[in-house]
Amino acid sequence: MSAHTLTVAGVAVDTRHWIGGERVASPQTFPDVSPIDGGTIGEISRGTAGEAAAAVAAAQAAFPAWAATSRTERARILHAIADGVEKRLEELAIVETTDNGALLRSHRRGVMPRVAHNFRFFADWLLKLEHEDFETRGHTNHVSWDPAGPCVLITPWNAPLMLATWKVAPALAAGNTVVLKPAEWSPLTASLLADIAAEAGLPAGVLNVVQGYGAEIGDALTSHPDVRRISFTGSVPTAQRIAESAAANLTPLSLELGGKSPLLVFADADLDLAVDLAVEQYDNAGQVCLAGTRLLVEETVAEEFTRRFAEKASALKQGDPRAEATDIGPTIHPRQLEKIDGFVRRAVAAGARAVIGGHRKDGQYYAPTLLTDVAQDSEIVQEEVFGPVLTLQTFTDEEEAVRLANDTRFGLAATLATGDPERAERVTARLVAGTVWVNCFFVRDLRAPFGGSRLSGVGREGGTWSFDFYCDLRNTVTAPNGWTNHG
């Protein structure tokens, strides 16, 4: 076995970059640490500007041939990648759980099947992508989607492979080449994806994977003049730096950023359902951008809701994410744990009351927390914590509910629990959010547009919206009877 290969739960993972169809090592490395026990999994190649330049060059060199590849062939290869994901589903699941601490049962049953689905969906969507021709004064307009060029995709640590392939699959389907930069806290499954893609027959240079810190390799990627698209999921401050870096080349951006989403519970709601929806916000230890972390409950049912919520949430089992019975795993990194704890400590010092939780546990675990007695303008209500911390506020009527729901800088998602369909229609029409769920949560369909408003992001992806971003749209206008045969 190579000196650059780790064995993670029995699975071999190469720690080097994947550039131009070859493994490339860097002189320096960085440690990859498992949040489960804080132990170092191994040392990962630490790329800098040199590796960034090489990866973009490889993507640029591979672009003409891949762009000229027929839609049918591109779709076939994407389906072959999906086959490879399904073949190695168990390996991908255990490696990602070891790397980022999310539940193994969720990776097996939901996350990794979704990875395969990402490739199959965009492969199939590509084959039916079309716009009906239309006429202007007898002239025919024909809309087409042309490959844009090399794309830089920078992905987060909370759902590493699923969110990476949510970007990689449409970019490749569109005929682009890709440089994927996974988060340094969870890089391992991106390396496995490179192996799977190569085995599926994806030509060298079409997908490149580089690892490292944002300041050392990310800036070099986002400022490169040959990059034609940048897609990023992560924090607002990082997105602002990426936007500044991309501005010199006017590189188009797609940004899916933070959220501080509301979950509104009206008195006419099914309270058992509302409680279930609220407790579900602790999924992945609260490390979900879409989570409805601000519980807004109608005053007349707030006491009963809080009692039921505390009872149900307190029964959640927190521990090793590899255990089938575990409901909540660890936070990703000691730095993230300290950030979460800091938010809660400052909130309590300012007068908030912890109904449940409010403290760290052994290792990198933070107790599921619900804070009440919080002011609308307080930090804990206005800023994204990205951990298992919810706040609860009350409202007296629809007007106040909507006002509180919209009173942040974000607008990623919202969840509404009500038994009145007319109220649901009125309220959802006024919420500032890219996605609104009514009496449900986290139901996602790749045919739907996904993205955020305000500081929650720029652009929409999913279905044709993804191709609109990853392509240069062309409209060809042809004159009527304009053909002359010069024989």
- How many whole angstroms separate alpha carbon 102 and alpha carbon 34? 11
Q: Which of 256, 298, 384, 461 is catalytic?
A: 256
Please report the sign of the dihedral spanned by the C-alpha atoms of residue 453, residue 456, residue 459, residue 462. negative
Assess whether 398 carries a catalytic annotation.
Answer: no
- How many whole angstroms separate alpha carbon 52 and alpha carbon 69? 25
Assess whether 289 carries a catalytic annotation.
Answer: yes
Is residue 208 within 8 A of residue 226, CB to CB? The reply is no
Report CA-CA distances (Å) from 351 to 189, 346, 360, 408: 42, 9, 19, 20
Is residue 112 within 8 A of residue 93, CB to CB? The reply is yes
Residue 248 CB neighbour total at 10 angstroms: 9
Please name which of 333, 411, 397, 322 lies closest in space to residue 366, comparing C-alpha atoms.
Answer: 333
Identify the DSSP state of 217. I
Q: Which of 151, 184, 289, 471 is catalytic?
A: 289
Please name which of 326, 247, 239 lies closest in space to residue 289, comparing C-alpha atoms.
Answer: 239
Residue 296 CB neighbour total at 10 angstroms: 25
Let me know if 407 is exposed, middle or buried by CB neighbors in 10 A (0-12, 13-18, 19+): middle
Mind telling me the catalytic residues? 256, 289
